[in-house]
């Protein structure tokens, strides 16, 4: 899908605050409210906008974040993924190329909770090895 300059401006405005009323978006972009609503409907229909979400403020963000790189035994990926789905601290799981098979992002409210979560991951049937990277600070975040 090709986006024009107005679409990009609309998406940028929504990225700042997805709760901005359509009338305010229209005023900000210098467009009619019906035009903005039609563009939003088109962007949603074509998959450019998948939904509107809540971003946690500092008061609700977990204290710790970590990335776990996991090497999985042959043919054990479904078993490991089932285990990871059952761990609430696991936020995302990506498959990767290279010496690790999975890249897992997790959160915890304390080092003890992080340690327990890492133990649960390491004990999972099919996990051959893992390496943990604890996030210290965020320098760039373009995730919105």
Q: Work out the pLDDT band at 60, boundaries 50, 70, 90.
A: low
Choose among 37, 43, 38: nearest CA to 3. 43
User: What CATH code is carried by the domain that includes residue 15?
Assistant: 1.10.10
Q: DSSP for the chain?
A: ----HHHHHHHHHHHH-TT--HHHHHHHHT--HHHHHHHHHHHHHTTS---------TTTS-SEEEEEEEEE-TT-HHHHHHHHHT-TTEEEEEE-SSS-SEEEEEEESSHHHHHHHHHHHHHSTTEEEEEEEE----S-----
Residues in the chain: 144
14 or 95: which carries more pLDDT confidence? Answer: 95
Report pLDDT digits (tens) over 69-96: 999 999 999 999 999 999 999 999 999 9
Q: What is the span of the domain harbouring residue 23?
A: 5-45
Domain assignment present for residue 51? The answer is: no
Domain assignment present for residue 52? The answer is: no
- The overall average pLDDT reported for the chain is 91
Name the least confident of 11-20, 39-48, 93-102: 11-20
- Structural domains counted in the chain: 2
pLDDT of amino acid 134: 95
Mean pLDDT, rounded, for 114-130: 95
Domain assignment present for residue 12? The answer is: yes
| Residues 121 and 72 grouped into a single domain | yes
| Residues 33 and 72 grouped into a single domain | no
112 or 143: which carries more pLDDT confidence? Answer: 112
Domain assignment present for residue 129? The answer is: yes
């Amino acid at each position: 899908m090709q986006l024009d300059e107005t679409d990009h401006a609309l998406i940028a405005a929504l990225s700042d605050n997805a709760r901005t009323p359509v009338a305010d978006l229209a005023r900000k972009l210098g467009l009619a409210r019906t035009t903005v609503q039609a563009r939003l409907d088109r962007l949603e229909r074509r998959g450019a906008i998948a939904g509107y979400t809540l971003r946690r403020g500092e008061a609700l963000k977990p204290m710790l974040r970590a990335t776990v790189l996991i090497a999985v035994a042959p043919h054990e990926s479904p078993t490991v993924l089932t285990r990871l789905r059952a761990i609430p601290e696991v936020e995302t799981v990506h498959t990767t190329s290279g010496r690790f098979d999975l890249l897992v992002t997790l959160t915890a409210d304390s080092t003890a909770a992080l340690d327990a979560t890492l133990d649960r991951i390491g004990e999972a049937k099919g996990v051959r090895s893992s390496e943990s990277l604890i996030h210290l600070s965020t320098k760039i975040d373009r995730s919105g």
